[in-house]
Amino acid sequence: MLPVRCPAKINTRLRVVGRRPDGFHDLDLDFVGLALSDTLELERADTLELVLDGAASDLPVEDNLVLRAARRLRAAVGEARMPGARMRLTKRIPVAAGLGGGSSDAAGALLGLDRLWSLGLAGEVLAGIALGIGSDVPYFLEGGRRAGHGRGEILSRLPDGPEQPVLLVVSSQGLSTGMVFEEFARQAHPPASSVVLTSRKTGISFPNGTSDCGQGAPANDLLPAAVVLAPRLGELLQLARDVVPEGRVGLTGSGPTIFVLLEAGADSAEVKDRLAPVLPEGVALLATRTMAFAEHEGTRFSRLAG
Ligand code: C5P
């Protein structure tokens, strides 16, 4: 069995630059890789099969992006070069959480199958297939800290910096990325600096019409839309900010996960003990850390869970 490590990400900054003719939005965002990872195991077979394990064992297999990735890859190279694979996915990354788990699994499938069947595909070929699966998938072919443009597929490397502890505040109810972008478009977002937007459902207002998660905190333009769909997000953000004033607190991707990024060397166990007791029921707290590009590359074909 070939193990493939599929890490999560957070977006420490996400700006929506505009809407495109193809219905997608152009973004300007930062990706930061995390140690928290799913594991995909692959072995050669004559057909494509996927078994889900761990937190995903009750999810429908047919919808899984790993299968979609494998089918697209097989269609691109032909069945003679890649007849199939027996695949087992062990999920640890929360699903529909804004942590990129499904996209990372799909990228892991592309890289893993390329190696398993010695396809030797060029990076651009894999990136093209990856973007056809989802906007975040090209990022996960690379990993580490990256700035993204376009749908998130135009990537440039950022300095990794020191490893930092990260706490993830994860709501049990996930959010669909498509629905958050739809809500964003429906709100017909005015220029970021000119208004104060108030969520009708929650009454929470966002200074500058966005997205600011608090003073000096990272901004995410999808926040007002996410709050309409998951009204308790505003409250959770405030809580995390109040309890961990020393952390950078923000929403990752289209949510609903809130990240608390701590300084390198901070005692994350102490911060976790402070935050966990005040979180409402149905909200989990996970501790992980940032993962640099070199570690991402070096541990790609291993079983590590982070
Ligand atoms: O690409 P992905 O499958 O993650 O996108 C899910 C949905 O989110 C898309 O169908 C699209 O409606 C919306 N989206 C968008 N702009 C992006 C990424 C996603 O409008 N850059």
Give 125-154 pLDDT, tens digit per residue: 999 999 999 999 999 999 999 999 999 999
Mean model confidence pLDDT for the chain = 90
Reported confidence tier of residue 189, pLDDT bands at 50, 70, 90: low
**Residue, of 138 and 161, whose pLDDT is higher:** 138
Is pLDDT above 90 for 195? no
Tell me, yes or no, if 91 is annotated catalytic.
no
Does a cis peptide bond (omega within 30 degrees of 0) precede residue 256?
yes
The overall pTM is greater than 0.85: yes
d(CA 278, CA 263): 22
CA dihedral 36, 72, 48, 80 (to 10 degrees): -130
Longest dimension (CA), the chain: 58
* 68-121 confidence digits (pLDDT tens): 999 999 999 999 999 999 999 999 999 999 999 999 999 999 999 999 999 999
Distance, in Å, from the CA atom of 89 to the CA atom of 16, rounded to the nearest integer, reads 32
Q: Which residues pair with 49 in a beta bridge?
A: 86
**Cβ < 6 A, ligand 1 pocket:** 23-25, 27, 134-136, 151-152, 177-178, 181
Q: Ligand 1 centroid to 124 CA: how many Å?
A: 21
Q: Sorting pLDDT into bands at 50, 70 and 90, what band is 123? A: very high
Token look-up 């990228």 returns 107
Ligand 1 center–CA 81 separation, angstroms:
31
Task: Please tell me the predicted confidence (pLDDT) of residue 205.
Answer: 42
